[in-house]
Amino acid sequence: MDVVNRTTDALAAGPMGSAAPAARGRLRALVAVELQRAMRSPGALVGVAGFLILLGVGHWSYWTSLPPRPEDDRLFVWGYIVAMCGMFRLGLSEDRELALDEYLVSNLVSPLRYALSKLLATIAVVGIFGAGAFVCAAAASAGDFQYAAWYTVLMTLVVWTLLPVLLLVEFGIDTRYPALFVLLIFIAAVVVGRLALGPIAIVRVMGLELERYVYSSLAPLGVRALVAGWVLVLLYPLWRLRLVGRAGWSWAKV
Amino acid sequence: MARMSGGVGAAVPELRLEEVSVRHGRRRVVEPLTWVHRAGRIAWLIGENGAGKSSLLRVLAGRMRPATGTVTLLDPAGRSGERIYYRPAMRLPGGVTAGAWARLMERLAGPAAAGAEEPMAVLRPSVPENRLLGRVSTGEAKRTLLEALLRKPAPFVFLDEPYEHLSARARDALTEVLVARAKTAVVVVATNQPIPDAAAGPVVQVDGERAVVIEPEESRWMS
Angle at A242 between CA A240 and CA A244, to 5 degrees: 75
What residue type is B92 in one-letter code?
Answer: L
Q: What is the DSSP letter of B155?
A: S
Give the count of Cβ contacts less than 8 A between chain A and B.
145
Q: Residue A15: its pLDDT value, please?
A: 43
Q: What is the CA A195 to chain-centroid distance, rounded?
A: 30
Minimal Cα distance from B14: which residue of A? A254
Which chain A positions have a beta carbon within 8 Å of B72's beta carbon? Answer: 252-254
Q: Residue A48: its pLDDT value, please?
A: 97
Q: Residue B137: its pLDDT value, please?
A: 96
Sheet with B14-24, edge to edge strand ranges: B3-5, B27-38, B14-24, B68-74
Q: Residue B91: its pLDDT value, please?
A: 96
Nearest to B93 by CA among A122, A124, A98: A98
CA distances from A232 to A38, A109, A162, A211 (A): 20, 20, 10, 28
Query: Which of B62, B96, B101 is nearest residue A252 as measured by Cβ atoms?
Result: B62
Query: Which of B73, B84, B113 is nearest residue A254 as measured by Cβ atoms?
Result: B73
Minimal Cα distance from A10: which residue of B? B180
Flag if A29 and B66 touch (Cβ within 8 Å).
no
Flag if B63 and A247 touch (Cβ within 8 Å).
yes
CA distance B222 to chain A (A): 30
Flag if B104 and A29 touch (Cβ within 8 Å).
yes
Angle at A105 between CA A102 and CA A111, to 5 degrees: 130
For chain A (254 residues), the mean pLDDT of every run of 10, in chain order, is 35 43 80 94 96 97 91 95 96 91 91 92 96 98 96 96 95 91 95 92 90 95 94 89 54 38
User: How buried is B215 (Cβ within 10 angstroms: 0-12 exposed, 13-18 middle, 19+ buried)?
Assistant: middle
Q: Strand, coil or helix: what is A11?
A: helix
Q: Which residues, 6+ apart, have CB-to-CB distance to A172 below 8 Å?
A: none
Q: Is B187 left (phi over 0), alpha (psi -120 to 50) or beta?
A: beta
Query: Which of A20, A32, A251 is nearest residue B65 as measured by Cβ atoms?
Result: A251
Cα B37 to Cα A143: distance, rounded to the nearest angstrom: 72
Q: Where are the alpha helices (DSSP H) in chain B?
A: 53-60, 98-109, 119-123, 138-150, 168-182, 216-222
Q: Residue B2: its pLDDT value, please?
A: 56
Which chain B positions have a beta carbon within 8 Å of A250's beta carbon? Answer: 61-63, 81, 83
Nearest to A236 by CA among A116, A125, A126, A106: A116
Flag if A11 and B96 touch (Cβ within 8 Å).
no
Nearest to A233 by CA among A163, A178, A171: A163
Q: Residue A5: its pLDDT value, please?
A: 35
Q: What is the CA A23 to chain-centroid distance, rounded?
A: 25
CA distance A126 to chain B (A): 18
- Which of the residues B55, B59, B104 would you substitute to probe the A interface, choosing the one with the greatest number of A C-beta atoms within 10 Å? B104
Flag if B71 and A251 touch (Cβ within 8 Å).
yes
Q: Residue B115: its pLDDT value, please?
A: 74
What residue type is A169 in one-letter code?
Answer: V
Confidence (pTM): 0.86
Flag if B184 and A12 touch (Cβ within 8 Å).
yes
Q: Are B67 and B28 in contact (CB under 8 A)?
A: yes
Q: Are A7 and B122 in contact (CB under 8 A)?
A: no
Minimal Cα distance from A3: which residue of B? B118
Q: Strand, coil or helix: what is B86?
A: strand
Q: Residue B104: its pLDDT value, please?
A: 96
Q: Residue B81: its pLDDT value, please?
A: 81
Q: Which residues, 6+ apart, have CB-to-CB distance to A173 below 8 Å?
A: A93, A181
CA distances from A247 to A109, A200, B1, B58, B191 (A): 11, 46, 33, 11, 21
Which chain B positions have a beta carbon within 8 Å of A247's beta carbon? Answer: 63
Q: Residue A244: its pLDDT value, please?
A: 55
SS (H, E, C) A103-133: HHHHHCCCHHHHHHHHHHHHHHHHHHHHHHH
CA distances from B192 to A24, A116, A219 (A): 40, 38, 62
Cα B44 to Cα B190: distance, rounded to the nearest angstrom: 6
Cα B31 to Cα B19: distance, rounded to the nearest angstrom: 8
Q: What does A203-230 look like in DSSP terms, one character per residue?
A: HHHTT----TT-GGGGHHHHHHHHHHHH
Q: Residue A70: its pLDDT value, please?
A: 86
pLDDT tens over chain B, length 223 residues: 456 665 555 689 999 999 999 987 788 889 999 999 999 999 999 999 888 999 999 999 988 888 999 999 999 998 888 899 999 999 999 999 999 999 999 999 999 887 777 899 999 999 999 999 999 999 999 999 999 999 999 999 999 999 999 999 999 999 999 999 999 999 999 999 899 988 989 999 998 888 899 987 665 544 4
Flag if A109 and B108 touch (Cβ within 8 Å).
yes
Whether omega before A68 lies within 30 degrees of 0, making that bond cis, reads yes
Backbone phi, psi, residue B95, to 5°: -90, 15
Backbone phi, psi, residue A69, to 5°: -75, 150
Flag if B86 and A14 touch (Cβ within 8 Å).
no
B29 membership: H or E segment, kind and range: strand B27-38
Q: Which residues, 6+ apart, have CB-to-CB distance to A234 below 8 Å?
A: none
CA distances from B72 to B42, B66, B213 (A): 18, 12, 18
Q: Residue B4: its pLDDT value, please?
A: 60
Q: Which residues, 6+ apart, have CB-to-CB distance to A22 below 8 Å?
A: B107
Q: Residue A2: its pLDDT value, please?
A: 31
CA torsion A62-A63-A68-A69 (nearest 10°) is 10
Q: Residue A251: its pLDDT value, please?
A: 42
The C-alpha R_g of chain B, in whole angstroms, comes to 18
